[in-house]
Amino acid sequence: MSLFSSESAWLCLAATAVLGGMLLCKSRSPGQLRSQVVCLAALWGGAYLLSLSLLCSLFLLSVSCFLLYVRSSDQDLLPVDQKAVLVTGADSGFGHGLAKHLDKLGFTVFAGVLDKEGPGAEELRKNCSERLLVLQMDVTKPEQIKDAYSKVTEKIQDQGLWALVNNAGVFHLPIDAELIPMTIFRKCMAVNFFGTVEVTKVFLPLLRKSKGRLVNISSMGGSVPLQMFSAYISTKAAITMFSAVLRQELDKWGIKVVTIQPGGFRTNITGSQESWDKMEKEILDHFPKEIQEIYGQDYVHAQKLTLPVMQEKSSQDISPVLWDIQHAISARNPSAFYSPGRMAYLWICFAAYSPTSLLDYLIKRIFHPGQLPRALRTAR
């Protein structure tokens, strides 16, 4: 008897195809789509490994598609209705693109920038509507955060702030943790993590009033231990856990907390040639003599040369990140996590479930720094 001779099998297959197609078409964001595809593929693979009959496998898959479709009915986007959104780090990169994107959609946007007179801020004022307000907001300076809070409160009156997007962040030269000066560790933590915490604490009363959204920009590296990025991804791991705790604590107030974990995208966070030279000099200036003999200055220089390569391999199109953040802000029932970017979601899943030895092996093979320290080169 053929596997597909059963009318029940054909019925389950048809139901699976229809529901699966409707589910994928209904997805409003790339991250949501990717997650659903991977979950359904894993379900099918699990059924196969359990040696379930074709009929049982198709029935299980069709029921799962139906449940996911029912759940996705809450994913419809809410109307803008002049909702107010604060975005930090809007000078460039994700924050700059998001401020423009949300302004076009009709949101009232508060764009927090590091330099109110800089080119990024000027471009926002020039190209966006009058609804967008540029705010001087260095997230490491409490007085600027409080001043921004006063300006936001003055403009929105009793409406409340619908969403806060904590995006401001800094990067560092990719190199071994042993060589990263403590000043860089502290700067990354001050901007990426403590800045996020302080801005969140100051603006929570406005989010509570609107029962709105808190969206924190983390990174794929917050869940995947990528070598050479210890100072940066440690802060992103802290943001991921901070967000997870707040998601539980703020639920009673009706505030939804979302974590965005992007993969590799080309933004200005990696800096320019001038900033790379400055980071290299800072590392070399902190080189103890013993460490200099072990690693060598040429090793640090070689690591600096990986930054242009990393930029070249990163995606120029940041729209998947913008769509996911828009979905997190606007969906009636957003996901807790979004992972835009090539392979980001798969890497996060792999890091969570694979044996540590296998994960370490693959990361060493794929993200190998290239040149070895001087002591290891001479020992060969």
State the catalytic residues: 232
Contact 178, 291 (CB under 8 A): yes
Beta bridge partners of 338: 260
Q: Coil, strand or helix: which one is 141?
A: coil
Centroid of chain to Cα 373? 32
Sign of the C-alpha dihedral, residues 363, 368, 373, 379? Answer: positive
Residues 236, 192 contacting (CB under 8 angstroms): yes
For residue 131 the two structure tokens come to: 């609804």
Give the integer Cα–Cα distance in Å for 66 and 180.
50
User: Cα–Cα distance between 375 and 265 in angstroms, integer?
Assistant: 34
Distance CA 109, CA 372 (A): 47
Helix H or strand E segment including 277: helix 273-285
Would strands 108-113 and 84-87 be described as parallel, antiparallel, or unpaired? Answer: parallel
